[in-house]
Each structure stands twice: as C-alpha cells, then as structure tokens.
Amino acid sequence: MINLEKVLHTGASRVAGGRDGYASSPDGRLDIRLTPPGAPGAGTNPEQLLAAGWSACFLGALRHACNARRLACPATAAVCTEVDLVHAERGFFLRARLVVSLPGVEPELAGALIDAAREACPYSKAMRGTVRVDFLLD
C-alpha cells in the first residue's frame, strides 16, 4: 500500500505557568500571556485560542467546499466559534458552537457547504465524538 501522507505544517508552542502563564512559539510569532477565564487584565485563555484556530480552519474548509462546487465564497464569509469550558459531575469538558455567516448564499446550499466543511476541517475531525458541537447558520 502506498502512503500518500505529507506533513504540510507543524505548529509548535511552549507554555509555562499553565492558565496563568505564557505561551510562545519557537519562531517567535506567538508570544502571549495566558490568564484564567474571567481573570482581570490582559491575556487570553486556551478556549479562546482554540476558538480562533477552529474558526480560521473551518472558514478555509468552507472556501474549499465552495471551490469544489465552482462557487465564489462570499468575501464577507465568517465563522464565529464559541468554546465552553464546562465542569460537571465527571470533571471538565468542552462544548462548542460554530456560527457560520455566508451572506447571499441560499440556506439549503449554505447547509450543504457547512456539512462539507465539517467533513474536511481538521479541527472538526479532531473534535468529532469527543466534543458536543453545534453548527449554526447566521
């Protein structure tokens, strides 16, 4: 069997201090203070970082779905992702909502594009079966 796997990119970061620390990347492009959710002052948290990465990846998958159908992806297309950190009886877990805006695209076609993006987006694949995710059309 032929292996066609090819690594396109490796993202790397180092965190010191956990949720109240710093995250940085070896290439210097990421250098950010981390703070627990709701803490005062500057800083972000892992859930915000996950939401940003997932939104960017999902929008790329939407563009790919449009290209595959020979459709122009709206220039103002956007994905707003919310990631909840939840505590329950069995411990902590994540829950998420992706709200997709495809201005000018009929709802039925938009739904098909969202379904295609769900199948293609690496973040969505990674969360499948482990995180409850709702996909909504804005």
Residue 131 near residue 92, CB atoms below 8 Å: no
Structural domain of 8: 1-44
Please check whether residues 72 and 132 belong to one and the same domain. yes
3-state secondary structure of 88: strand
Q: What pLDDT, on the 0 to 100 scale, is given for residue 37?
A: 86
Residues 68-125: pLDDT tens digits?
999 999 999 999 999 999 999 999 999 999 999 999 999 999 999 999 999 999 999 9
CA 112 to each of CA 25, 67, 91, 119, 137: distance values in angstroms, whole numbers, following the listed order: 36, 13, 35, 11, 11
For residues 64 and 110, state if they share a domain: yes
What's the CATH number where 111 sits? 3.30.300.20
**Chain segment 19-71, per-residue pLDDT in tens:** 999 999 999 999 999 999 888 888 999 999 999 999 999 999 999 999 999 99
Asked whether residue 67 falls in the same domain as residue 116, the answer is yes
Residues 51 and 13 in one domain: no
Same domain, 67 and 123: yes
Tell me 96's DSSP state.
Answer: E
